Structure 1
């Protein structure tokens, strides 16, 4: 059984945001605030010696991003519920934090009722988003609209080698073609997937189960 009051920590790089959230939540009957933390290191140090049931976590922190911190917190304390409170509206960031163990994602301009609702849902084990975040997630991405790109056998081969972290030079040596040709394939793949760089290319290929 969860405790009657959720031991709650706020992690944000702006002390004024922490104070604002404390003021909003201090009269909530099911919440007991245990502190505000301005860095990843500070909250990690705290949860190693203290119980925390709920963490309201920002993405932008001075020492680590909230997406990675989410994963680390869940490894340290699997039962701690994490809700993201952020100004970031990129769909990829939202999806990554959920993948890394967050139970929900709200924008900082969310209403208090939305925050209350998401806390209640998250504690029940559900994943919850604020209304605006739901709209961002439900919008089809460029890749969804385009469908899975058609790749030649050679492109698939090169994509797999790029994903393995190999340079154009190494791939060229392996396939007996010039590094310039590999660079051309690399550019074509980035264009076909409608992404900006190699990191996004690999992520898109994994999402579309090409890798």
Structure 2
């Protein structure tokens, strides 16, 4: 019996290419295609596919939101992310949302078919470059001292200062951006290091990156 595959991506030409690749696979049927996140979720509900090949950055709903919704309503439907992004936080967030695999759009057609088969078999598939990022992230986490308190103990202002530190902003820039004095910035930095168990600004920066405090708009 053929496995029903749903494709969701806002690039129509890319969808055409993926459809062409999968049309030659005997055990796969492309059951539907959607160009926006919202229409994709509606079509998933209507067709109940075995697997959804899903982009992350799309209009109306992004891939992380769709993954959460699908896994909440249809936990047996498999989700394979097919994205151009190698952003650590995006990868971690979509895997936390329940995605069963993460492949890159630059992959060869053979890898895409293999990724689909692996995910359909009940295993997780991660492209080699994705594995590398996750391993490096794990090693980085091991090198950062555990904070004695959680981020919840930080004030809103301290979180703002920490986010700006993580972006490489100087004390002068932070002072200007937050409209506070240089001395106040120094006080916040000392408090952050004490609360988070970090000995210097480098450790503060790495902590902010680990906890996803740096801003990203993709």
TM-score by length of 1: 0.74
Greater displacement, 47-56 / 141-150: 141-150
Match status 1:184 vs 2:189? yes
Q: Which residue of 1 aligns with 2:60?
A: 63
TM-score by length of 2: 0.71
Structure 1, unmatched stretches of 5+, are 170-179, 203-211
Aligned alpha-carbon RMSD (Å): 2.8
Alpha-carbon offset, residue 135 of structure 1: 2.5
Output the CA distance in 1 between the equivalents of 2:209 and 2:131.
Answer: 27
Out of 130, 150, 153, which is 1:161 matched to?
153
Q: Which residue of 2 aligns with 1:105?
A: 102
Q: Which residue of 1 aligns with 2:50?
A: 53
SS at match of 1:34: strand
Output the CA distance in 2 between the equivalents of 1:137 and 1:198.
Answer: 12
Output the CA distance in 2 between the equivalents of 1:108 and 1:131.
Answer: 13
Pair 186,52 (structure 1): closer, same or farther in 2 beyond 3 Å? farther
Alpha-carbon offset, residue 104 of structure 1: 0.6
The within-5 A match list for 1:79-98 is 79-98=76-95
Q: Which residue of 1 aligns with 2:41?
A: 44
Output the CA distance in 1 between the equivalents of 2:143 and 2:70.
Answer: 36
Structure 2, unmatched stretches of 5+, are 159-183
Q: Which residue of 2 aligns with 1:208?
A: none
**Aligned 8 A contact 1:168 1:182 in 2:** no
Alpha-carbon offset, residue 35 of structure 1: 1.9
Pair 135,142 (structure 1): closer, same or farther in 2 beyond 3 Å? closer
Match status 1:200 vs 2:212? yes
Output the CA distance in 2 between the equivalents of 1:129 and 1:13.
Answer: 22
SS at match of 1:82: strand
Alpha-carbon offset, residue 199 of structure 1: 6.2
